[in-house]
Amino acid sequence: MIHRRLALITVLLVAMGGHLMAQDDERDLLLQPLPIRDQFLLNNGFFFFEPEAARVLDDGKWAVTFRISDANTFAKSAWVSRSLEGQTTRGDALAELQQPRYAIAPAIFLVHGETQRVELGFRRGLGNHLEVGIAIPVQGIGGGWSDRVIEAVHHVLRIGNAEREALLQDSETVYMRAGGVDYIRARSSGYALGDLAVSAKYELIPFEERNVHLAVSGALELPTGRAATLDGSGSLDAGLQLLASRDFRTVRVHASLGVLRLGPNRPLGTRAQSVITDTVGVSRLINPRTAATVQLTVSESPFRNRGMAEFDRRSYQLSTGVQRKIGRSTVVYAAFIENLFNYDNSADAGFAWGVGRQF
């Protein structure tokens, strides 16, 4: 039902864009999707695609990107939520989880903290249809700074804080017990190198309608980060996705459908598995140098089938942002990230910004 509504919204936005004034090739950079991957803290070490354009770089052309994201997560299983209800004072999360009542549940989790990710990317066009790239992430997990801001916004909107006020603000706690595996983390290990990803994208032969673009993209993520600190998965991961876009006069509709093949993650107790993820979005020019983008990423969880209902549902991550062109080949962007529909398997809120240059 949700996917049908998203499809209807996309069709309406396309129809609205059809009568707008024409764009030229120099505006292509502004209409690309926002390069924002899954932000859920517990998924930090797993491989996830970042949305990308279907068009490849011209032969011999380079693109360099620098990206930063900061996301806050507060998620928990149903028994933890029920146990925290009604508490009027803030307490330490690990001390709370040691109480006997939590031992009743065969599988529980509590994820409270903030992720920061810095990524440097390089891509190069080879021939008429091929593009290769590498992404180098540096990331950290900690208590962060944004709990007060999020709680204040929730109060203003009168939507409740989902037991946030029962635990200390800006503290880090990652606790999961399922299938005989216990994972506990309550202290930041600082910034560390994540898993490097190498990728290749092949653009399919254009249709007669030259405003339609299709491409196949594949990526391989190397286990250069530590799984024990959630900076990596501890295994070789890979993914394959189909990318599509349709250009109108000042609007571009973009979509992707991807399959991830994730290796086992021993610290978190997950086995080798396949995960489906997809993104649909719309970018629209505001003026010749500015564009706005709205996109929704829907993903299965690597923790599904672990005995916790929250992870059996798909996550819905909404990203909204503005992109601004500087000069002829540099674009900067800033975006806000929010979860939708299911709130205990994705990041509560986040911010992302970055800069890219082609030459």
H-helix or E-strand spanning residue 42: none
pLDDT of residue 209: 64
By percentage, how much of the chain surpasses pLDDT 90?
A: 78
214 in a domain, yes or no?
yes
Of the pLDDT bands very low, low, confident and very high (cuts 50, 70, 90), residue 2 is: very low
Contact call for residues 115 and 191 (beta carbons, < 8 A): no
Indicate whether 27 pLDDT > 60. Answer: yes
Assign 157 a pLDDT band (cuts: 50, 70, 90): confident
| DSSP letters for 266-300 | TTTTBPSEEEEEEEEEEEEEEETTEEEEEEEEEE-
Distance CA 174, CA 184 (A): 6
108 belongs to a structural domain: no
pLDDT confidence of 17, banded at 50, 70, 90?
very low
Helix, strand, coil shares of the chain, percent, nearest 5, are 20, 45, 35
pLDDT at 162: 82
Q: Which domain holds residue 217?
A: 2-70+126-140+193-358
Mean pLDDT in the chain?
90
Q: Give the pLDDT confidence score for residue 24 in this predicted structure.
A: 52
What value does the mean pLDDT take over residues 205-219? Answer: 83
Residue 4 pLDDT > 50, yes or no?
A: no
- Give SS3 for 76: strand
pLDDT at 16: 41
**Average confidence (pLDDT) over 109-124:** 97
Does pLDDT of 10 surpass 60? Answer: no
Tell me: the pLDDT tens digits for 60-88? Answer: 999 999 999 999 999 999 999 999 988 88
Q: Per residue in 277-328, pLDDT tens?
A: 999 999 999 999 999 999 999 999 999 989 899 999 999 999 999 999 998 8
pLDDT: is 293 or 206 the higher one?
293
In a domain, 156, yes or no: no
User: What are 156's two structure tokens?
Assistant: 């203003």
Q: What is the token pair recorded at 83?
A: 């146990």
Evaluate whether residue 302 is within a structural domain.
Answer: yes
**Token pair belonging to 326:** 């500087």
Q: What was the pLDDT predicted at 206?
A: 67
Question: What is the identity of the amino acid at 156?
Answer: V
Confirm whether 107 is domain-assigned: no
Contact 287, 34 (CB under 8 A): no
**Does 315 reside within a domain?**
yes
The reported pLDDT for the residue numbered 8 is: 44
Return the pLDDT at 237: 97
Residue 26, pLDDT score: 64
Q: What percent of the chain lies above the pLDDT cut of 70?
A: 92
pLDDT the model gives residue 54 = 94
Confirm whether 322 is domain-assigned.
Answer: yes
Tell me: pLDDT of 43 over 70. Answer: yes
Which residues, including other chains, have CB under 8 Å from residue 323's CB and lie 6 or more apart?
29, 30, 32, 34, 283, 290, 291, 292, 293, 331, 332, 333
Residue 1 clears pLDDT 60, i.e. is over it = no
238 located within any domain: yes
Q: How confident is the model at residue 192 (pLDDT cuts 50, 70, 90)?
A: very high
Any idea what the CATH number is for the domain that residue 251 is in? 2.40.160.40
Reported as a pLDDT band with limits 50, 70 and 90, residue 211 is confident
Residue pair 133/123 in contact (Cβ under 8 Å)? The answer is: yes
Report the pLDDT averaged over residues 193-204.
96
Total number of domains constituting the chain: 1
| pLDDT mean over 143-167 | 87
